[in-house]
Structure 1
């Protein structure tokens, strides 16, 4: 079984690549690889490399050339007298090597050097696959360090890759920030575990680098700092605190790395607008006193546990840790409560047109680690050995059906309710039909 997790990763890579080649690269379907919010995350790269224009004046021509009215999205926000990119730069940083490869291929192939022709969009599609696999690979290493047996490790990786909304956002909307946060958070967990075992300076510098990067991908990602007690475990957390208390001056150098990333974003804001500190989300706000917890988790509109039941399964199984490893249970579940509380406190708690609760893609590595540690504690239980893989298979089936339905607008991107959800729930007999059972949502909303 030692090679089973690696074989699972190879299988995931093959299926992901075949999916993208078959579904996204055919005909003109590649034109929506960079889409919606992803246009803004990506736009820094052509703005700096091709157009030398941080006012994004090239936007209208690109929109007219590559997108239909249905795909229209203006990522520029008016702040005062200027329009600027409302999104943070971290996603573009992670896309940059793939963008440069796409630019090189565009020059060599004679494609348009405009940042949106096929070589550029294909490069971002490959980036989505790469970072999904990087995150999964780092989780595989994390499972090994955590003592998760190879069979559960491989099955968790397979179910995470095919049974959650990671599948959709890595392959269908790879220009969104989520798969990049997913990979960076998986790296944060892996290096955090290493640091907890041996708190040396190099690993702490790596954690500081990752924390800064995560913040400029999505500022709310700074919450990962509160995950260290869970990642480290009781003894590891003691090691971390002892190291920091004995050398408190090192926090200055670590903090300077994080601040360096934040300064990078501030300088970009200044180059766009002449102002250092900007708020680019208009009337949208974070209201921590009024979270939409039920809607965020269980609504038919976007509920995480409705559309990604893999997360519910991970949480339920992890409750066994209250008996076997209460530190991990309290710190792990407590951290996820914090994440859900904060993300559900956003005024636009459904996060626009999206599948499931899309910001939770970023935090799937924490669910996976909880599931892996809990499964290890239950590995001698015969019912778990047989039943849990069967439930994971069922969860993958549900996710694949719902992902297909979302791709073809059977599950509406914004307006689902109980009636429309159960009208199509697991109705595989409808998947080949030309008529949409929920067509009324497309007509009326």
Structure 2
């Protein structure tokens, strides 16, 4: 690192006590990093071999490409999209699409990731065009091209993060930090198993943003500002909540605005640099106007999903056995503490970013973000967070104080623990969700799955209907109520505060006594709903279909102390309802 670079780097705050590797000593760390990157590529390719990768959420992110360049049907009003669901089965339902009243359909997600996917799409399209595979956007050439393109793009993120750290610190610290991020956190499993999910690609964009900040700080000008703004535009267009990334150039580049600032030096010609943001934003708004009829469109119209910034799930999201970020990636605590070693404006800027990021992520109604190892939603921000780990390594390598060994031990121990737990996850010992404290400790040293420990997990909410044998074996009756169903109150049957029914994470309710015509039973069903802050946020539903008894599992609650349970009997036939008395028996799990 040159003397000029040392003076400009915001992370160099004190004199070196021990010698650091020089610029020409970077060959060995780079070779080691290349081996790490190759291992990531091999890991991803082997885990995704023979699989379709354009599935689930990634299917929705990707759908812009075939809709635009193959079918020329952005509003998805033609039947080709339905055929894709039948032929390739990307998901059990079409949750990625929002049906509009005029027959058009709007993709739930914004288009940023489709832009990032596009090189893989075009390569796949060329291969499909010269072979016998269908040129429909989803056949094997597209799947393989997308897999390898995203692998390469994610590997680029590791390289950019390394180069950023190499410039700010030295090759050794850069290498150790990158190795600990890859193998000591949930980055590897998040970015290279669920390969097309946004977190690995956004990790690359965050690393690219840091590199762009370096270039703008050292050489402020229109070109460097254009690159910086373009990266920010892609991040926000990929996930709008990444808007907080604008804090990074503000706190990293020093004085960004005002007299004598970097922007002040280019202010006469600065406006062209913001054209990418304006163009990409306008195109997204044009798409919303075309398909949904509004320039600004909130696509998450499902009551089960959305932001509630007033009530973030901080304790569960950070420390729970189920999906706590700091619990499953404890080395992140070391990284966050490392920001205390930086200059004041950098420290507070970074900590504000981290706090805002945590707050926004954990304000999502489904705060556990489905199945993953640890909390996947934090992975994209690791380039910012783990600068703090580099600062810790710098301090410990340059100082011979008594805290040096304990700090290094903690970093290595936390990294090794996360690596072992990652191995358990890939060998089906740890599930992607439902983990409890009892299950965690019972399987702590396990090297293979054990059937007898499965009862220690949280209830399986993907089970269509609870098994009566499981209900009899693992549950005990807590209360029995008889409720009168009146047709003038249709479809309402029963309402009660969740906390009055159980103190656990779920309950079962057995419903008997209903009187429905046998010929019409397939058009009657019970809905057990959770009402949170005045909105139905989740529900479980079962048709009667010739059964005298219905057993329902309570849906996932958001706030157990304030949520309400609502039971409804829904009639989709033309046959009139009749008044009747229903018997409700509530059950609570005996263990866990």
- TM category (shorter chain) comes to 0.7 to 0.9
CA–CA distance in structure 2, aligned partners of residues 164 and 436 of structure 1:
29
Q: How does 1:288-327 map to 2 (within 5 A)?
A: 288-319=309-340, 321=341, 325-327=343-345
Three-state SS of the structure 2 residue aligned to 1:422 is: helix
- The Cα offsets for residues 243-280 of structure 1, whole Å up to 9 and x where unpaired, read as 33455455543444312111121122233334322111
Shift, 1:363, TM fit: 0.5
Local SS of the residue matching 1:351:
coil
- Among candidates 443, 453, 478, match of residue 437 of structure 1: 453
Which of 277, 298, 321 lines up with 1:279 in the alignment? 298
Which deviates the most, 76-85 or 194-203?
76-85
Equivalent residue, structure 1, for 2:187: 166
Once the two structures are superposed, the pairs formed by residues 6-405 of structure 1 within 5 Å of their partners are 6-25=30-49, 28=50, 30-31=51-52, 33-56=53-76, 57-67=79-89, 74-81=95-102, 82-146=104-168, 148-232=169-253, 234=254, 237=256, 242-245=261-264, 248=267, 250=269, 252-282=271-301, 283=303, 284-319=305-340, 321=341, 325-382=343-400, 390-405=409-424
Residues 128 and 170, structure 1, Cα contact 8 Å, conserved in 2: no
CA contact (8 A) 1:244 1:250 kept: no
Is contact 1:79–1:280 with CA below 8 Å preserved after alignment?
Answer: no
> Whole-Å Cα distance in 1 between the matches of residues 137 and 454 of structure 2?
36
Deviates more, 1:60-69 or 1:266-275: 60-69
- Structure 2 partner of 1:3: 27
CA distance in 2, matches of 1:140, 1:22: 25
Equivalent position SS for 2:161:
helix
- Quote how far apart the aligned CAs of 1:410 are: 4.0
What are the superposed Cα offsets for residues 60-115 of structure 1, whole Å, 9 maximum, x if unpaired? 3323333387x656311234444321011111111111111122222334233232
For residue 43 of structure 1, report the CA deviation from its aligned partner: 1.4
TM-score, with length taken from structure 1? 0.87
Change (3 A) 1:440 1:46: farther
Task: Tell me, in whole angstroms, the C-alpha distance in 1 between the residues paired with 2:175 and 2:452.
Answer: 36
- Pairwise CA distance, 1:15: 0.8
* Pair 1:418-2:437 in alignment: yes
1:313: Cα distance to partner? 2.3
How many residues are paired up?
Answer: 431
Give distance in 2, aligned partners of 1:335 and 1:124.
32
Secondary structure (helix, strand or coil) at the match of 1:430 reads: coil
User: Residues 354, 436 of structure 1: CA spacing in aligned structure 2 closer, same or farther, 3 A cutoff?
Assistant: farther
Instruction: Name the SS for the 2:398 alignment partner.
Output: coil
Structure with the larger RCO, 1 or 2 (CA within 8 Å, 6+ apart): 1
Post-superposition offset of 1:241:
6.4
Q: 1:377 deviation in Å?
A: 3.2
Deviations 1:110-145 (A, max 9, x none): 233232222212222212321222111111221122
Q: Distance in 2 between matches of 1:336 and 1:241?
A: 28
3-state SS of paired residue (1:437) = helix
Larger radius of gyration: 2
CA contact (8 A) 1:304 1:357 kept: yes
Can you list the C-alpha shifts for 1:162-193, whole angstroms capped at 9, x where unaligned?
Answer: 22222122211121111121111111111112
Richer in strand (by share):
2
**Which runs of no fewer than 5 residues in structure 1 stay unpaired?**
none
Q: Distance between the aligned counterparts of 2:142 and 2:331, measured in 1? A: 33
Structure 2 gap ranges (5+): 1-24, 462-592
Structure 1's 289 and 92: CA in aligned 2 closer, same or farther, altered over 3 A? Answer: same
Secondary structure of 2:130's partner? Answer: helix
Q: Is the contact between residue 319 and residue 325 of structure 2 (CA under 8 Å) also seen in structure 1?
A: yes
Q: Which moved more, 1:307-316 or 1:399-408?
A: 399-408
With over 3 angstroms needed to count, the CA separation of the structure-2 counterparts of 1:265 and 1:409, relative to structure 1, is: farther
Give a deviation string over 1:350-408, Cα, whole Å, max 9, x none. Answer: 22333322221111100122222342233223467666555444334333333344456
Distance (whole Å) between structure 1 residues aligned to residue 259 and residue 332 of structure 2: 29
Give distance in 2, aligned partners of 1:65 and 1:128: 24
Q: Is the 8 A contact 2:186 2:379 kept in 1?
A: yes
**CA spacing shift, 1:440–1:373, aligned 2, 3 Å:** closer
CA distance in 2, matches of 1:79, 1:311: 43
